[in-house]
Amino acid sequence: MSDHERSATPPVQQAHCPACHRTVRPTPILWGLPLPEGMEAAERGEVILGGCLVSPFDPSHVCPACRTRLYETPDGDFEVWVAAWSIPGSAQDRGTLPH
Ligand SMILES: [Zn+2]
C-alpha cells in the first residue's frame, strides 16, 4: 500500500526568492472562493487569500520576507511575478504618467 492521500495543502518547500535572494518558504495564495479552512489558515498567516480574480497568469505565492509576488515555474523554481496583463486606458495606470 502506498502512503495515504494528502487532501490538505502540501507543505511549501523552501525556495530561493528571486527578489530578495533569501531562502524563504513562500506563502501560497489561495485563489477563488475562500473556504472556512482557507480563512483560518489565512488568519494564521499560512496562506494569503487572493480573492476571486482569476486571470491566466496569477502569482501563486508571496515571499514572506519581501512580500514580492511570485509564481512557480514548471521546474519548481520561483520567479518574480509581474502583471502580464494590463487594462488600456485604466485610470490607475495613468496616475503616475507625466501629462
Ligand atoms: Zn523575497
Instruction: Name the domain count of the chain.
Output: 1
Question: For residues 47 and 27, is the Cβ–Cβ distance under 8 A?
Answer: yes
* 3-state DSSP helix/strand/coil % of the chain, to nearest 5: 10, 20, 70
Instruction: Note the pTM of the prediction, 2 decimals.
Output: 0.60
Residue 76: per-residue pLDDT: 81
Tens-level pLDDT at each residue, the chain (99 residues): 545 554 555 566 789 999 999 999 999 988 877 788 888 998 998 988 876 655 556 788 999 999 999 988 888 888 898 765 444 554 444 444 444
- E-strand ranges in the chain read 15-16, 23-24, 27-31, 48-51, 61-62, 69-72, 78-80
Is residue 10 in a domain?
A: no
Is residue 38 in a domain?
A: yes
Q: 2: CA distance to ligand 1 center in Å?
A: 36
Is residue 44 in a domain?
A: yes
Q: 28: CA distance to ligand 1 center in Å?
A: 13
Is residue 29 in a domain?
A: yes
Interatomic CA distance for residues 16 and 77, integer angstroms: 8
Q: 87: CA distance to ligand 1 center in Å?
A: 27
The boundaries of the domain holding residue 75 are: 15-80
